[in-house]
Chains A and B, each alone.
Chain A
Amino acid sequence: MRRMVLAYAALTLVAPALLPAQSFLERMDVHGYGGWSFGRTVDNKTTNHFLFGHSRGDYSHSEFALNLSIAVNDRLKIDAQPFWHSGHHANQTASGMDYVFAEYRWSDAFALRAGQVKHPFGIYTEVFDVGTLRPFAALPQSVYGPTGFVGKAYSGVGFTGALYASGGWGVSYDVYGGGLEVVERDVGFQVLAQGPDTTGKTLNFAETKAFRDVVGGRLVMHTPVAGMSFGISGYTGTRPVAPVERRRTVYGAHAELLTDHWSLRAEGAHQNAKEGRTIDGAYIEAAYRLTREWQVAALYNTLDAELDGVSAVDIARAPSLLRHKERGVALNYWFTPNFVVKASYHEVDGNHFAQPEPVRVRSVVAGNALRTRTELVLLGAQLSF
């Protein structure tokens, strides 16, 4: 995959050679987005981290990405999006390619995409980090958090297209196959599964899992009511869990209504993994523009997980690690559609996402010191161009 990414990056750089210089500039579009967030939990004694915040306050979350689109001709285009971000885990910084792919379009209804392509699942995967496209600073965690539902991009081949009838109905689709890296942090599951005796047992702190032989798709129905759409998504793939390959299947449904004043979204997803767990996540999110600049928003997130083969006694040590119930409210000021300042408050019951740093989860659970309730305040500024 790394070689493919480098190859496409090189192709992006040499694309100017395929076109006269003036023509190349006319055919290239450059956009980008960025943001910064500060988060702090209200309880300054909690060890829980959630989203971008913890008890000491975290100023370090920031991100930036450039979006490049080059129309080589009327049918072929190349898209690339390099990114950079820093986060609160040990002051991590990361950079790379969100995606880089070529798209050949025969018609509105049929196009081929090949490379590292944004994962088409649900509402937000294709615009994962673009803060000006959502009312809260962070995505709804019950579907888009590090729980193994979604990936940022698949590496492979896909087909996409859309058909719109004159009456206002339309349908758009994506079908794809290849490899998929899924965002996931399952230290809590491991702590429960290992039980109280951790002698000789280590924890895996990896935050992504690589799946292969993935087949997936998304179907979206656009209605004559402007801004209203419904969709279903799903994929299945395998990854090695020694000594065998384990299959994971994920599917979900979503609904969306976007008007000048309202932004209403609801989504649910189910994960059925032969790795020994089942996860259900859902959210509902509503935002309303009081004026052109001021916006209020509310969010309810819920997630429940079940672990196979783990005794009830072991789960009883910290059942909150399998649960996330969150209510959030936000107040946003939109200077323009491309620049917004957000303030939000989140109240969480459960520790599936709101938990100590991964290296401390085991010791906190062993010490019976896990706080199941977390309150977080987030401030952020997000932009796009």
Chain B
Amino acid sequence: MSNAQQVIATVIFQQEIAPRYYRLGLQSQIIARTAQAGQFVHILPRLRPVNDPLLRRAFSVARVSEEYFEIVYRISGRGTAAMSLWQPGQTVDVLGPLGRPFAPLALYSLLVGGGVGVPPLAMLAAQRRTEQVRVLLGARTTNDVVCREDFERVGVPLEVATEDGSEGEPGLVTSLLQKHLDDAARKAQPVTIYSCGPLPMLRAVAAICRQVNVPCQVSLEENMPCGVGICNGCVVPVSGAGDEYGRYRRICVDGPVLWAQEIDWSHWEPIPCP
């Protein structure tokens, strides 16, 4: 039995925080108080009660407070375009919190993210107590780096890699990751990776971690018609013991967070629908 609820939440604020990136605050005590890092909410992306866009969209929870929760999203299609027009006071139909959260932070944790994969890592970082946590973010340009203030607020150091070199290390975040893993190996320091972001990044992170046998949690994304485990639409192929059929797991209930080594990366090529 999960904590999931269906609620009508009210928009408290919405800000464009970077070109096409929005931060949305929704009032719902019950979701705010039960959501854990890695879980998502399933939102009806409509301006009015109509049948289109038909399906809910899934967004990781980025931050919670006593009364409200926040998501960060990027306009990628019709649903998110409609959402970006919401004003404070708009009522929103939300299902959540859903899915399996990240495992607790390890003594030494590296959070590796990019794009809209960063918000759930921000929420994970906020759960830090005494663990040593570093965040490595990859982005195309400095304008695509989001949630800086969330990491700052919880005192977690941030390193950035940008493809165009406009900030931090020029190139991909995987080179930052490699550097820190080499470092950890030299010191014989166990480390766990938590990663969320574009699929090519996740693949590369998973491959690096597999090579050096470092545990790695990934948060996955796929079109989710129902979000609650009924339709079997959002499956990811797994290697080894999968779900009851041995081949697939549902990202909405068996994930979205999974251990990277469970995933059959060679057969995983989703095409997210706008």
Q: Do A and B bind each other?
A: no
